[in-house]
Amino acid sequence: MSKSSKKMSVIDSMKRPLGDLRISVTDRCNFRCSYCMPGEIFGKDYQFLPKEDVLTFEEIERIVRVFAGLGVDKVRLTGGEPMMRRDLESLISMLAVIPGVEDLALTTNGSFSLSRVKSLKEAGLGRMSVSLDALDDEVFMKMNDVDFSAQRVLDWIETSAASGFSQVKVNMVVKRGLNEDSLLPMARYFKQQGHILRVIEYMDVGQSNGWRLEDVVTAKQMVRRIHEELPLEAIDANYRGEVAKRYRYVEGGGEIGVIASVTQPFCGDCTRMRLSADGKLFTCLFAVNGHDLRGRLREGASDEEVREYIQAIWGKRDDRYSELRTAQTADLPKVEMSYIGG
């Protein structure tokens, strides 16, 4: 059977098609980044999901097959830190052969044994995004809060590129007063190395990161700062629903992306659904409540019943949190990024 399959179009109430699925395979992480899992909250006594509540690989595979039948062709594994999930390569090998899944990607902090890069590639992983918020160890360690050096992440990035991954993107969350001065050094370095840097506005995901609007370095400010030294010009998106605005370096080639969900919302083209580690479906990164898919699976629902459940959820979807964000809505209770996935 061909890996490709005829795409079905599932449309939400605002005419946005379902095209992407992000899967949090674990709510655990070995970093304690201040913008995601601050150590003072996610300490040694924090209660993560018990093993029995987490979706099995077989359950995830079944869910992805249903989603692929609904037209989803992009699947990304997230966390927490997805590499914390034991035998992740086995799941990747299961998902990589599902008809209709054309883009299988992973987001990681790149803190694991370099031998894992080869095993991920051999399992069938197509693309990788690596989180790195600074080149300077003092700044980076202040952000990850576990004394992990930037060089070890850089080694992971270069090993990934050398291992034949078609694309390695580097994600940098920029928070005012913490790592904004790392913006230009990061742009210079990854332009030279030939990797795409994506700079990300500090977002109000979850309740624990102490988000304030004044801590946001805006996309315009970031682009202006880079453009002053490394001239940029805007280029078109690769596809509908791409979250990063793309810019090309005028001199010497290369590309940079800017994700601006705070100041330049892209809700109108959002094609993503998210699946938490314990099997809840979320139609927005900033959602308050999820829909229990795991319960239906374990109660014996058929694939057709699962498909109808997903269609019903997406069909009623009207989320556009970032377009409606105010100082008041930013304080509403939301699920943590480590639970729902980035």
- For 25, the domain range is 20-340
Q: Is 2 within the bounds of a domain?
A: no
pLDDT at position 319 is 78
Q: What pLDDT is recorded for position 9?
A: 79
Per the prediction, the chain carries an average pLDDT of 90
| Ramachandran region, residue 15 (left: φ > 0; alpha: ψ -120 to 50; beta: rest) | left
Least confident of 23-37, 75-89, 187-201: 23-37
Burial string for 122-145 (b: 16+ CB within 10 Å, else e) reads: ebebbbbbbbbbbbeeebbebbbb
In-domain check, residue 191: yes
pLDDT of residue 5: 44
Of 45-49, 201-205, 314-318, the poorest mean pLDDT is in 201-205
* Residue 15 falls inside a structural domain: no
Task: Give the confidence band of 338 by pLDDT, cuts at 50, 70, 90.
Answer: low
Tell me, what's the pLDDT at 340? 75
Phi, psi for 225 (deg, rounded to 5): -65, -40
Residue 11, in any domain of the structure: no
Rounded CA-CA distance 126/103 in Å is 6
Phi–psi pair at 233, nearest 5 degrees: -140, 140
Number of domains present in the structure of the chain? 1
Residue at 71 is within a domain: yes
Alpha carbons 203 and 254: distance in angstroms, whole number: 26
174 and 180 Cβ atoms separated by less than 8 Å: yes
- Evaluate whether residue 269 is within a structural domain: yes
What pLDDT does residue 1 have? Answer: 37
pLDDT tens for each residue of 34-91:
888 888 889 988 999 999 999 999 999 999 999 999 999 999 999 999 999 999 999 9
Return the sign of the alpha-carbon dihedral for residues 237, 316, 286, 322: positive
Tokens of 95: 């998902």
Q: What is the CATH number of the domain that holds 132?
A: 3.20.20.70
For residue 237, the Cα-to-chain-centroid distance in whole angstroms is: 18
- Answer whether 0.85 is exceeded by the pTM: yes
Contact predicate 3/99, CB 8 Å: yes
Tokens encoding 86 = 């034991």
Query: pLDDT tens across 246-298, in order?
Result: 999 999 989 999 998 788 777 888 899 999 999 999 998 877 789 999 999 99
Is residue 214 included in any domain, yes or no?
yes
User: Is 4 inside any structural domain?
Assistant: no
